[in-house]
Amino acid sequence: MTGRYLQIDKVRMVFETKKGPFCALEEISLDIRSGEFVSLIGHSGCGKSTLLNIVAGLLEATDGHVLLAEREVTGPGPDRGVVFQNHSLLPWLTCFENVQLAVERVFGAAEKKAAVRERVRRALELVQLGHAQHKYPHEISGGMKQRVGIARALSIEPKVLLLDEPFGALDALTRARLQDELMHIVAATQSTVLMVTHDVDEAVLLSDRVVMMTNGPPATIGGILAIDLPRPRDRIALAGHRRYMAPRAELLEFLYRKQMREAA
Amino acid sequence: MNAVPATVRTLQPPLARAGHADESAKLHPAMNQASSAAEPPPYVRTRAPEWLPRLLAPVIGFAMFVLLWQILAKAGGRLPDPLSTWHSALEVFGNPFYKKGPNDQGIGWNVLASLGRVGVGFGMAALVGIPLGFMLGRFRFLSDMAAPIVSILRPVSPLAWLPIGLMVFKAANPAAIYVIFVCSLWPMIVNTAVGVRQIPQDYLNVARVLNLSEWTVFRKILFPAVLPYMITGVRLSIGVAWLVIVAAEMLTGGVGIGFWVWDEWNNLNVRHIIIAIFTVGIVGLALEQLMILAARRFSYE
């Protein structure tokens, strides 16, 4: 069972467009273990976000199905925590209230008010934002907003954490810091993670396995690369390390030689 | 006193150039520091504060307006001049709340009567228009259903509705309120519906991944997201309602600022008509500012 905590089974996705059916994904099968960190990498437009949205339940696969802890995914639900690319915080709620909205939904019925507030506080402290909890999203930086997004996703104790290019909109330094922070959080919470990225270094640094998506359409899995690096990982120590450079080179080779876009 | 730092400044560059390069590098900052620490800044440029022209411009504009009015009044005709109108206004506002029978009341009562009609008509329009706007924004089918009716009725002058109001209610006061209701309705429906449609998909995705209940979605996402649009609708509605009430009251009579204007016209008291025009303008401005204040309170960015 631990070997197939999240099961993606022969998923196919066809969109109906004005020019007729458009097959975005074909024959996607992937098993993710409990506590595993898996990244989806590929060129933009290859359907990796589509796959993530199918797992999130925001899109319904045309064929195939997704199982999470042996139960079929039929729609969106709080057993999956989603971090959106553009943070998606509600601007009229403070950081605390944004997280509270999620916690209240999941634990509000069973737990007292004080316990709910304690959960919110702990989630914000996990991403080091205890001091900014009463600020509004427009009062904090992009990196802080994304951290609130992560806190919101983690606060509901999801079975799996789904990250859709979570650091794509941030500058390189902030991104590196948040990647390190995410590694700590994932290690501390033993989370199962599925992350979409197009950053080779991010994929290698964070993942246990990297799923390489072909360009398509229809896109499918071009290969899966196991990243055999001990944890905790340190970006500086790994920078020139052979076991880091080898998978990195392989990913680059896949993205820029085998799957290079003609027009791009 | 002022000349001393100035001469130090002009002397400095030649001195520095004369010495060795590394020496000047050491000398330069040190000298600058010493001179600025010992002396206050050599001169402070005095500039008129920024708010002054901002304040002055409207004052000048208004003065020119009054001057033009004076010239026109002097040129002949029956237009009263500004000064006599001002005296008349002091008289009118000196006793705004008197009552000498149903058709002779102070200007305060007249303004309050008009505001009351606007309040009631507008309030009812908000009660109907805002929920309707939410529904039209949320459900495509309803919006397509309502589109032809709204498009045809929206450009109609509200006064065209007055005869129907008189026919249905058989009384002036409810007919006037009903006209206010009709003209306030459209901006609120349309703006609320647009607001609902403009809600970013991201916010709704948050609601979906958390499986929030419809009531929570409404309270925490729909309502706050639409509020700024709603306030815009309310602002437009109040503006239109205040425009229309004067005209409606001219036709229906009773107590009200519009009726007052008509009454003073029958008395050939042009000064009072001008006073009424300014009163209507100032009350309208106050209403508008009030709504802008409310809008600022509920903007999030």
CATH number at residue B168: 1.10.3720.10
Q: How far apart are CA B301 and CA B295, in angstroms?
A: 12
| Torsion angle defined by CA atoms of residues B29, B32, B37 and B38, in that order, rounded to the nearest 10 degrees | 140
How far from B149 is each of A160, B144, B146, B167, B194, CA to CA, in Å? 49, 10, 6, 22, 17
At B295, the amino acid letter reads: A
Residues B186 and B280 in one domain: yes
* Whether B209 and A92 lie within 8 Å, measured CB to CB: no
pTM, to two decimals: 0.71
The answer, yes or no, to whether residue A196 has pLDDT greater than 90, is: yes
* Whether B205 and A93 lie within 8 Å, measured CB to CB: no
pLDDT score recorded for residue B125? 93
**Burial class, B57, CB count within 10 angstroms (exposed 0-12 / middle 13-18 / buried 19+):** exposed
Using the Cβ of A86 and the Cβ atoms of chain B, whether some distance falls under 8 Å is answered with yes
Using the Cβ of B300 and the Cβ atoms of chain A, whether some distance falls under 8 Å is answered with yes
Q: Which of B210, B217, B229 to mutate to test binding with chain A, by most A CBs within 10 Å of its CB?
A: B210
Radius of gyration of chain B (CA): 31
Residues B34 and B174 in one domain: no
* Whether B209 and A101 lie within 8 Å, measured CB to CB: no
pLDDT score recorded for residue A3? 64
Residue B89: both structure tokens together: 């206004």
Residue B22: both structure tokens together: 């590394």
Which residues does B213 contact at the CB level (< 8 Å), separation at least 6? Answer: none
pLDDT, tens digit, 9 for 90 and up, residues A121-172: 988 888 888 888 899 999 988 888 988 998 898 888 888 899 998 888 788 8
- Residue B226 inside a domain? The answer is yes
Q: How far apart are CA B223 and CA B206, in angstroms?
A: 15
The CA distance from A12 to the nearest CA of chain B, in Å, is: 21
Between CA A162 and CA A183, with CA A52 as vertex, the angle to 5 degrees is 30
Residues B21 and B153 in one domain: no
Q: How far apart are CA A173 and CA A191, in angstroms?
A: 24
What is the CATH number that goes with domain A2-79+159-258? 3.40.50.300
Residues B118 and B34 in one domain: no
pLDDT, tens digit, 9 for 90 and up, residues A63-101: 888 888 888 888 888 888 899 888 889 999 999 999 999
* Cα nearest neighbour of A161 on chain B: B209
Of B205, B220, B301, the CB nearest to A101: B220
pLDDT score recorded for residue A185? 85
* Whether B203 and A92 lie within 8 Å, measured CB to CB: no
pLDDT, tens digit, 9 for 90 and up, residues A206-229: 899 999 888 877 888 888 888 888
- Residue B258 inside a domain? The answer is yes
- Residue B53 inside a domain? The answer is no
* Average pLDDT value over all residues in chain A: 86
pLDDT score recorded for residue B38? 59
Residues B131 and B11 in one domain: no
Count of domains for chain B: 2
Closest CA to A182 of A203, A212, A210, A213: A203
- Residue B23 inside a domain? The answer is yes
Of A58, A86, A90, the CB nearest to B209: A58
Say which residue, B229 or B253, is predicted with more confidence: B229
The rounded percent of chain B whose pLDDT value lies above 90 is 20
Q: Which of A84, A92, A98, A145 to mutate to test binding with chain B, by most B CBs within 10 Å of its CB?
A: A92
- Residue B57 inside a domain? The answer is no
Peptide bond into A218 cis (omega under 30): yes
- Residue B25 inside a domain? The answer is yes
* Whether A93 and B220 lie within 8 Å, measured CB to CB: yes
| Torsion angle defined by CA atoms of residues B111, B112, B117 and B119, in that order, rounded to the nearest 10 degrees | 120
Residues B12 and B146 in one domain: no
Of A82, A105, A138, the CB nearest to B300: A138
- Residues of chain B positioned with their CB less than 8 A from the CB of A156: 210
Q: Whole domain around residue B217: which residue ranges?
A: 107-297
CATH 3.40.50.300 residue spans of chain A: 2-79+159-258
**Residues B14-20, mean pLDDT to the nearest whole number:** 43
The answer, yes or no, to whether residue B128 has pLDDT greater than 90, is: yes
Q: How far apart are CA A85 and CA A87, in angstroms?
A: 6
Helix ranges (H only) for chain B are 3-18, 21-38, 51-74, 82-94, 107-138, 140-153, 162-169, 172-197, 201-210, 214-216, 223-252, 257-266, 270-297
Q: How far apart are CA A193 and CA B135, in angstroms?
A: 39
- Residue B252 inside a domain? The answer is yes
Residues B124 and B266 in one domain: yes
Please tell me the number of Cα atoms within 13 Å of B285 on its side-chain side: 6
